[in-house]
Structure 1
Amino acid sequence: MQFDLRFYVVALLFVIFDVEVAFFFPWAVVFGKANALASVGQPHSAEAYKETGERAWQLVPPAFRYQHTAQHNLLVGTSSESVDRLQELRQQEGVGKTLSAKERAELRELETAEQRALVPQQEARRLAWLALVEIAVFFGVLLVGYAYLWRRGDLAWVRSLAAEQQAAAGSLSGPQS
């Protein structure tokens, strides 16, 4: 017994949809990694700096890593002493103690390093939104394509199959008297 051609069409539509969904995967990976980086938050420890550096490094394409090696090494190489010193200088400044010129310069340098850790997180948030929009647009185009096929009548047999089954059930029962 041969299958009805309509079943092959369903299988073909499923395969097309399955392949199209596979195109979501790269964007989903970027979305996941960007959200992981954005979720690190304000670095308060050397481990947080290292985590930010490593997660940002995962988002840099290998061909462009040479451009970001210095920033990556600075983030990963941030020591606990630097983080502790930043907190100490901020506390001294917060209680009203006047910092020497050397301490102010050191504070500015340490705050610059902290900002270096926040920039990749901000960029990751924007990249995550871009990936989400890209996924939504791609899925929207896919749905518009299926709506077009439905409107054109390529999928009209789905409705007619139900009508055929009802007609077949009516003819099997015969005329009612």
Structure 2
Amino acid sequence: MELLLSIGLFAAFGAIFVFANMVLGSLFRPRMPNAEKAATYECGEPTIGTSWVQFDLRFYIVALVYLVFDVEVALFYPWAVTFGDAGAIARRLGQSAFSVRAGALVDMLFFFGVLMVGFAYLWRFGYLDWVRSSATTSLRSDAGRTTRLSALLSEEARLDPEFAQSATVSGPMN
């Protein structure tokens, strides 16, 4: 109980300290707006265009994959520390140390397996490739495109008899 009280006091003091400094800063800083102060500063050079740029979405994908695996590693550590002393846990639960270790291993392998399935999906469909190639698309989507193209061509040939004759006489287009 004493430990929780000291942690709570520490967190409360930290929050009050941050809030108090923000309030004091807003009360005592000078308020003299100026057009020159509000201008964008780019290392002494005049700005060209807007400073708002859209980052390539591939950066976000890489960042999200990094975050997922970073959190995974962060969750592995407490698991390893907790189940590193499986003997004490087993005595407390009245089980064998082997069963506690086996259960912990199965839990972590399941957690890791779910993440690996997601990673394999990203890898298989080319979401992790910096330059995506047509080889990473699925065969099913290629077959679907071919089927749709055939349906469109047959519909065009049905509606326009000259199209059908030109397609058979001239052969495929280059």
TM bucket (normalised to shorter chain) is 0.3 to 0.5
The structure whose Rg is larger is 2
Greater relative contact order (Cα 8 A, min sep 6): structure 1 or 2? 1
TM-score normalised by L of structure 1: 0.37
TM-score normalised by L of structure 2: 0.37
